[in-house]
């Protein structure tokens, strides 16, 4: 039977790596009857390889009604394309990490509309979601916001994050899963734990292949680099403070904006935690019941916790007056001065990087991604 594998996240669980892996290994997947289709449209706030984003690009209420007629036409046009692909391939893979939260918030009608289309064409569905322990997930999500200077959340201190992030995400995983299960049944929801110790092959990519019924072999090419590295330690705080400077993100060249990330990846010398032991236990306790419900209803194991507990030797909590901060600040601004000097020596590059208009940046960024995607698929 034709099967749609819909990978819905969550954020910060290797989704970028999975999407790029599927795109770069498209021929190997096609040979096995799996298609990772290209949607040739750049949606705002989504990468072009997030080929499932069209499902939530237009808001849908609980009854499945679309907010706009144009949005509904776009949704049905893209869905019709996916249905036509099933005439050539028995398995289609769609992926977008935003679906997990959007289906709970602004697009609760997605499951109803999707079920109607799939039932009409007798297409089976398997919904895949990776879950990460709530403290690790929330911290990683916050660092991503800080790294990309995204939203007001990129300026929040960590102490303000837990109570403010309720507007951006959902930490009660059971409610996310039940929303999809109402339409498709729990048997069609595949829950995986985002933990290297529990991955097949010790990595999320062979683990994902196993989920869709394949196994890693020499036909598949693994990436050589981390597609989405994280800010860490003092450089995370340096970037957060820089985000407070008005218009800094839009006026600086991207190479300088990414300097904290470069330093973080090469200069980290110590391990730290964002929670103290007591804070971590209090934070995780509020999700124990819902996590246990996920383990019972979706993994069939009510006797084991959903996630491994925090390590016994938890690193010390990060503090701004730690012994490495002074040195890291000097290193960061020294690197920034060197980088700026190099750019000033290349006038044409400097003029290109200083383009101010949002439209110009959007057209260039979107254009190169479409070209890149075309090369990957051909």
Whole-number pLDDT of residue 315: 86
Measure the CA dihedral 347/352/354/355, to 10°.
150
Are the CB atoms for 192 and 131 separated by under 8 Å? yes
Residue 57, φ and ψ in degrees, nearest 5: -65, -30
Determine the Cα–Cα distance for residues 158 and 147; give it in Å rounded to an integer. Answer: 14
User: For the sheet containing 34-35, what is the strand order?
Assistant: 34-35, 91-95, 3-7, 124-131, 189-193
Whole-number pLDDT of residue 363: 44
Whole-number pLDDT of residue 337: 83
Determine the Cα–Cα distance for residues 69 and 91; give it in Å rounded to an integer. Answer: 30
Determine the Cα–Cα distance for residues 40 and 376; give it in Å rounded to an integer. Answer: 13
**C-beta neighbour count of 158 within 10 angstroms:** 18
DSSP 8-state secondary structure symbol assigned to residue 307? S
Whole-number pLDDT of residue 150: 64
- Encode the chain (378 residues) as per-residue pLDDT tens digits: 899 999 999 999 999 999 999 999 999 999 999 999 988 787 887 888 999 999 999 888 888 889 899 999 999 999 999 999 999 999 999 999 999 999 998 899 999 999 999 999 999 999 999 999 999 999 999 988 888 876 677 888 888 888 888 777 999 999 999 999 999 999 999 999 999 999 999 999 999 999 999 999 999 998 876 667 778 889 889 888 888 887 776 666 666 667 888 888 765 566 788 899 999 999 999 999 999 999 999 999 888 899 999 988 888 899 888 888 888 888 888 888 888 777 676 655 555 555 544 444 444 444 444 444 444 444
Max CA pair span of the chain: 64
Cite the beta strand spans of 153-273 per DSSP E.
Answer: 189-193
Q: In whole angstroms, how far apart are CA 97 and each of 74, 127, 252?
A: 20, 12, 29
Determine the Cα–Cα distance for residues 256 and 340; give it in Å rounded to an integer. Answer: 8
Residue with token string 């218009």: 247
Bridge partners (DSSP) of residue 168 are: none
Whole-number pLDDT of residue 375: 47
SS3 (DSSP) at 124: strand
Whole-number pLDDT of residue 285: 95
DSSP 8-state secondary structure symbol assigned to residue 272? -
Determine the Cα–Cα distance for residues 332 and 318; give it in Å rounded to an integer. Answer: 19
Determine the Cα–Cα distance for residues 180 and 112; give it in Å rounded to an integer. Answer: 9
For residue 328, the Cα-to-chain-centroid distance in whole angstroms is 28
Whole-number pLDDT of residue 227: 63
CATH topology of domain 3-133+167-224: Rossmann fold (3.40.50)
Report which of 90, 98, 54, 88 is spatially closest to residue 73, judged by C-alpha positions.
54
Break the chain into its structural domains and give their ranges. Answer: 3-133+167-224, 233-364
Q: In whole angstroms, how far apart are CA 40 and each of 83, 102, 178, 302, 370?
A: 16, 22, 32, 44, 7
Joined tokens for residue 371? 């070209």
Whole-number pLDDT of residue 186: 97
Whole-number pLDDT of residue 259: 82
Are the CB atoms for 146 and 165 separated by under 8 Å? no
Whole-number pLDDT of residue 352: 54
SS3 (DSSP) at 130: strand
**DSSP calls for 162-196:** HHHGGGT----HHHHHHHHHHHH-GGGEEEEE--G
């Amino acid at each position: 039977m034709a099967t749609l594998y819909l990978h819905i996240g969550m954020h910060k669980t290797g989704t970028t790596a999975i999407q790029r892996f599927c795109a770069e290994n498209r021929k190997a997947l096609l040979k096995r009857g799996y298609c990772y289709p290209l949607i040739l449209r750049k949606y705002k706030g989504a990468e072009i390889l997030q080929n499932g984003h069209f499902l939530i690009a237009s808001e849908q209420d609980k009854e499945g009604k679309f907010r706009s007629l144009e949005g509904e036409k776009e949704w049905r046009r893209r869905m019709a394309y996916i249905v036509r692909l099933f005439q050539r391939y028995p398995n289609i893979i769609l992926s977008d990490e935003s679906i997990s939260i959007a289906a709970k918030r602004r697009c609760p009608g997605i499951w109803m509309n999707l079920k109607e289309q799939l039932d009409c064409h007798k297409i089976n569905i398997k919904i895949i979601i990776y879950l990460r322990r709530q403290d690790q997930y929330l911290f990683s999500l916050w660092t991503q916001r800080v790294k990309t200077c995204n939203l007001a959340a990129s300026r929040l201190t960590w102490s303000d994050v837990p109570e403010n992030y309720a507007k951006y995400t959902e930490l009660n995983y059971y409610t996310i899963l039940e929303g999809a299960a109402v339409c498709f049944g729990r048997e069609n929801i595949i829950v995986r734990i985002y933990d290297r110790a529990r991955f097949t092959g010790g990595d999320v990519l062979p683990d994902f292949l196993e989920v869709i019924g394949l196994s890693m072999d020499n036909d598949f090419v693994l990436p050589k680099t981390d597609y989405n590295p994280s800010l860490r330690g003092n450089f995370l705080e340096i970037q957060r403070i820089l985000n407070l400077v008005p218009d800094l993100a839009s006026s600086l060249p991207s190479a300088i904006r990414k300097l904290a990330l470069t330093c973080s990846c090469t200069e980290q010398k110590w391990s730290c935690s964002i929670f103290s032991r007591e804070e971590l236990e209090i934070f995780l306790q509020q999700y124990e019941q819902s996590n246990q419900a996920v383990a019972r209803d979706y993994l069939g194991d009510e006797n084991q916790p959903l996630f491994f507990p925090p390590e016994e030797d938890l690193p010390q909590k990060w503090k701004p007056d730690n012994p490495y901060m002074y040195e890291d600040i000097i290193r960061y601004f020294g690197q920034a001065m060197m980088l700026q000097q190099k750019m000033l020596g290349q006038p044409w590059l400097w003029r290109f990087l200083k383009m101010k208009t949002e439209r110009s940046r959007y057209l260039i960024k979107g254009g190169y991604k479409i070209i890149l995607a075309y090369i990957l698929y051909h």
